[in-house]
Each structure stands twice: as C-alpha cells, then as structure tokens.
Structure 1
C-alpha cells in the first residue's frame, strides 16, 4: 500500500459513494487507475464493504446503550458460545470481546426503556454463562463513525506481522 492508496482510503471513508472520476481528480490519478486500486483494496480485505449510516432515532430505536458483560467462565468454549449466541440478537449493533474486567462490550439500539429492560432481563441475562451486566445509556453522541486513521509508517500487511511490529523478513515494514 502506497500513499495514493492511503489517500483513496481517506476519501472513501468520508464519502463511500463518491464517483471514481471525482476520486481520481482528488488523488491525481486516472479513473481506470483509481478503479483498479479500489478493487485491489477490496480484494485484499482492506476495504470490507460500503454501507449507509442509518440514524437509529429516525427509524424508531432512539435508546442507544452500551452493555458490559462479564461471564462466569473464561475458557474458549464458553466465550465462543456466548459470541455465537449474541449474534442472534438484532438489537445488538456492535459487539466486542475485550481485555480487562469486562469480557464483552455490546452496543444496542432499542425503541424504549421498556424494550431495554425486556432485552436485559428476558434475553441477555438468560444467555448461559452471563455473570454480570453493566448498562450505560447514551445521553448524546459526540463523535460517531469516525474514519480509521491511515498511518504513513509502520504499516504491516495483515497476516505478515510476527508479533514485534516487523514483517516476516525481520525488518520494519514501511510499505
């Protein structure tokens, strides 16, 4: 990945619907070259997809909450079972397995406080292995859907890092 690819990624994160011709003007490349680069970034899994950002409040789910979940057991099987189970809940927008005192962080959207209570009491806490839940409701969003920073140095292709920030050849990767 070079500086042009990084420019392309920065622009696409701000506007995923930009025309390739306009993107080409911004990054100073031809439209076919930009299209080829975008396709390559998609094939490499750097660009995972494109989606519309929907305002939860405008579609009937104004209550946004973050739920910290602690499990009773921390072996691989209970963690995998919990991870698979929570994928089934449409209320969960995002879910992360964490380090530290909380095992999972869930972001949910529901239509009301009553729906939040229903989700917590009758769904989430009935999942086998759940020990504790801690819920924080969002009062107002400050920054959402921020772009991923595209650093110019220390870039290591996915799957090539050996754990010390260096590529397979032992040298610092600076693609």
Structure 2
C-alpha cells in the first residue's frame, strides 16, 4: 500500500464527501497552498487510490423502485464459465455490482429495476439466457436504512 499521510487521508475523506469542491477549498481544509494540494490529488489519482469521480443519483427519481440481490450458482466451476458469465453481464445496466462470493452461491448481483415486471423481464430475457447458470435465488430489498459509498481511511 502507498504511504499516505494525514493530509492525503483528509483529502480522500473530503473528496468522498463532495468531489465538486474546488482545489482552493480543499487546500484551505488541509492547510496547504493550491499547487501542492493539486499535486497530491493528482498523485492519489495516478497511484489508483482515487479511481474516478461520479454523481450519486437517487434511483427513485428515475423510476428505479426495486432493488434486489440475485444469488447465482454456476453449473461448473471452471474458468471458461466464469469468463462467459462476466462477459454476459458486463453490459447490463440493471446490474450495479457483481461479486464472487463464498458459500452456497457463486456470484452475488446487486440489481436495480423499475418494478416486478422489469425484474421478470430481466430474469427471463437476460440472465436465464446464459447456459452456465444453474440457479438464481433473489432477495428483494424492502427498505434501506444505510446506503453509503464513503470508505473511511
């Protein structure tokens, strides 16, 4: 891991809270001038500590009211099946996250959809078309009490 000092950690925290802050605002918060603050941020980016900047959208405002977790079991556990699965789901906008997991299932998908009809179409027309899947078990989110993307260093 890269050596991060307290200033780097403060910049990471501040950028995660609000990445639209100006370099001047960030410099004031870490008690540096603008140039070294900008250089530190560029170093954090080039070292892969900061991967990207993005807007967090309220899914409800876009009609996305159904959040689900699909636990997927693959037919076989061989490299080509995992590669085929990854290629199949890569371009699906409904899928927010794909994680290989240990336990009773192989993959966990975090999926955002409009409604149950959208879910049915997603399963029938997209996911179940892949021959390497043997089982899908879905859990639907009733209410989220915490949804945070900030990782505190």
Indicate the TM-score class for this superposition, using the shorter chain for normalisation: over 0.9
* Residue aligning to 2:79: 76
Runs of 4 or more consecutive aligned structure 1 residues displaced over 6 Å after TM superposition? none
**SS of equivalent to 2:138:** strand
* Residue aligning to 1:21: 24
Is the CA contact 1:82–1:128 (under 8 Å) kept in the aligned structure 2? no
CA RMSD of aligned residues (A): 1.2
* Residue aligning to 2:143: 140
Matched, 1:59 2:47: no
* Residue aligning to 2:130: 127
Cα separation, 2, equivalents of 1:106 and 1:57: 19
Deviation at 1:145, TM superposition (A): 2.7
Unaligned runs of 5+ in 1: 151-175
Q: TM-score scaled by structure 1?
A: 0.81
Cα separation, 2, equivalents of 1:137 and 1:59: 19
Cα separation, 2, equivalents of 1:130 and 1:106: 13
Q: TM-score scaled by structure 2?
A: 0.93
Cα separation, 2, equivalents of 1:49 and 1:88: 19
* Residue aligning to 1:99: 102
Q: Which structure shows the bigger proportion of residues in helix conformation?
A: 2
* Residue aligning to 1:170: none
Deviation at 1:100, TM superposition (A): 2.1
Cα separation, 1, equivalents of 2:101 and 2:121: 25
* Residue aligning to 1:89: 92
